[in-house]
Amino acid sequence: MSKWQKKWEQQLDYLEDLKVTRLLKKGRNRVIQMFSGRTVMIILLLLLEIGLLFSVFSKLEQYLPIFYGSAILFTACMLFYVLNTRSNPSLKLSWCIVIALFPFFGAVLYWIIHTDIGHKVVQRIDQENMKESAPFVLDQTELMERLKEEEPALYNVARYTTKFCGCPVYDNTHTVYYGDIQTALENILKEIDRAEHFIFLEYFIVREGYMWGMILHQLIEKAKAGVDVRLLYDGTCSFGSLPYNYPKKLEKHGIQCRVFSPIRPFISTHYNNRDHRKILVVDGKVGFTGGFNLSDEYINITQPHGRWKDAGIKLTGDGVRSLTMMFLQVWNSTGRPSPYAPYLLEPHRTMIPSKGYVIPYGDTPLDQENVGEMIYLDILNRAKEYVYIMTPYLILDNEMVTALTFAAKRGIDVRLILPHIPDKKYVYILAQSHYPQLLAAGVRIFEYTPGFVHAKVFLSDDNCASVGTINLDYRSLYLHFECSAYLYKTEAIPQIKRDFFDTLGECQEITMEDTKKRDLLSRLATALLKVIAPLM
């Protein structure tokens, strides 16, 4: 029995007595097939078009030339329209193929998604939250003037994040990197125990089990002591990992709980925009973010895909202010607004032993600015020696492929660590579709043989890094609410490099010969999936 299981056994009876969990000890054995609003919509429209085509062919045979000609004309008009919209070229190409193959189905689906049913209301709320929180963005004029002279590269990044996502640069922030989430959990529990005023948690996945149970035990105790405890989780958790009425269960124990975009039985494109962020803030002084959710596989108590490899970052000091603001912005989009002032007062400037600078930044799909991708592209384009990347998914658009290959072609040591045991087979197939082009340009690709890599880490030139929630795929870069910490010459940089090479020691390098060994079925699946990758 591991130390985590021993700790859990000591707390299990307590939690069961409180009746806040149901199957914590054994976990859930049921398998739920979840269909989001988009998936159901696609299936229904496809069935409708198939039925329509059969009807036309069987009953209106004499009008077939008219129908066929109309379909060609309609498809041509739709393709002309799509090609002239302002969107990602890869996305436009995928839509053109779908519309050409399924003229009516593709057009209706495109119309539903791009007329933003239910989306504009969410966008308006998001804009109002950004406007209300803007006065609390810390004025860093003095620091920026210094960076302009001393660190122009960082100055440019900070200027961008301040303007386009309200996330300034901070000094006076100590950073600790975790390549082992068990160690991160130990520190999270210690910080929660020290909380005096508030604890904010925002996670994509919260699943009943050992990890969440230990955190929940302390949250309940802190709520009893008068600490303001809030939990925000994504609505997809209601499909299998948590009961639908979980917020009410927690509220009985003094924990405020909200669900981001709970999935309901009506069509709305905002279901496409999930809250993929992972944020934990204690008293506005200490904050955590990274790739890990609150579920047992992240500390390897369960291993559904082999050994789980993840990463996280702990911030102590002024930089936690932006994580607090990000949490409140999303919290206020899910219900009755909470005032910003009590949690975002001017920092007391307690000096903390620290090095370098930090930009905790967020990305929202509602503002047409792809902050996460821009930061990654900036790291690749500014690199002078190397860029090391860990990511679970590799579904790239043309801009990212160009940046990766150009960096390698100009002599930058570009290395990617990816999973060897995937959590989603089709995503693994899509990742492999990029291998030949990247390898040909000189990018080195490694697969983590013990299991699944879920870390989202960029590291370059021993001076800058990004650790957070942003995957190298369309969903993270364009559709989800995301967050990360951009680090510049901080204490965590050598820790990240050491962890990268430790992980590299457990990887196998992929060669061009390996890509040629794939069977015909895999190649066909790759060709099909790559066409529709931006729509997945």
The string of pLDDT tens digits covering residues 369-428 is 999 999 999 999 999 999 999 999 999 988 999 999 999 999 999 999 999 999 888 888
As beta bridge partners, residue 485 has 360, 467
DSSP, collapsed to helix, strand or coil, labels residue 435 as helix
CATH of 3-22+124-357 given 3.30.870.10, 1.20.1050.10, 3.40.50.1470, 3.30.200.20: 3.30.870.10
Residues 422, 429: Cα–Cα separation, whole Å: 9
- pLDDT at site 37: 43
Q: How far is CA 168 from CA 172, 344, 374, 382, in A?
A: 13, 14, 16, 20
pLDDT at 320 over 60: yes
- pLDDT at site 107: 73
- pLDDT at site 413: 98
Q: What is the pTM of this model?
A: 0.86
- From 13-27, 64-78, 167-181, the region with the lowest mean pLDDT: 13-27
Residues 139, 158: Cα–Cα separation, whole Å: 12
Chain mean pLDDT for the chain: 85
- pLDDT at site 429: 86
Token duo for residue 39: 């998936």
pLDDT at 31 over 50: no
- From 91-100, 108-117, 200-209, the region with the lowest mean pLDDT: 108-117
- pLDDT at site 258: 96
Residues 109, 112: Cα–Cα separation, whole Å: 5
- The residue among 159 and 274 whose pLDDT is bigger is 159
State pLDDT tens for residues 480-536: 999 999 999 999 999 999 999 999 999 999 999 998 887 777 777 776 766 666 666
Question: Domain coordinates of the chain in residue numbers?
Answer: 3-22+124-357, 37-114, 371-535
Highest mean pLDDT of the ranges 118-132, 352-366, 420-434: 352-366
| CATH code that applies to domain 371-535 | 3.30.870.10
- From 88-97, 140-149, 338-347, the region with the lowest mean pLDDT: 88-97
Kindly state the percentage of the chain with pLDDT values over 90: 60
- 502 within 8 A of 495, measured Cβ to Cβ: no
Contacts 24+ apart (CB under 8 A), 67-70: none
CA 179 from centroid of its chain's CA atoms = 18
CA 50 from centroid of its chain's CA atoms = 36
DSSP state letters, 322-376? HHHHHHHHHHTTSSS---SGGGSPPP--------SEEEEEEE-TTSS--HHHHHH
On the question of a common fold for 3-22+124-357 and 371-535, the answer reads yes
Q: How far is CA 529 from CA 102, 423, 465, in A?
A: 16, 17, 31
DSSP, collapsed to helix, strand or coil, labels residue 470 as coil
- pLDDT at site 34: 42
Q: How confident is the model at residue 143 (pLDDT cuts 50, 70, 90)?
A: very high
- 349 within 8 A of 173, measured Cβ to Cβ: no
* Count of C-beta atoms within a 10 Å radius of residue 504: 16
pLDDT at 450 over 60: yes
- From 46-55, 332-341, 364-373, 475-484, the region with the lowest mean pLDDT: 46-55
DSSP state letters, 78-116? HHHHHHTSSS-HHHHHHHHHHHHHSHHHHHHHHHHHHTT
- pLDDT at site 388: 98
Interval 110-132 mean pLDDT: 73
pLDDT at 80 over 80: no
DSSP state letters, 271-332? GGS-B---EEEETTTEEEEES--BSGGGGTSS-BTBEEE--EEEEEETTHHHHHHHHHHHHT
Residues 278, 222: Cα–Cα separation, whole Å: 21
pLDDT at 148 over 80: yes
Q: How far is CA 346 from CA 317, 341, 349, in A?
A: 12, 9, 9
Highest mean pLDDT of the ranges 20-34, 110-124, 313-327, 416-430: 313-327
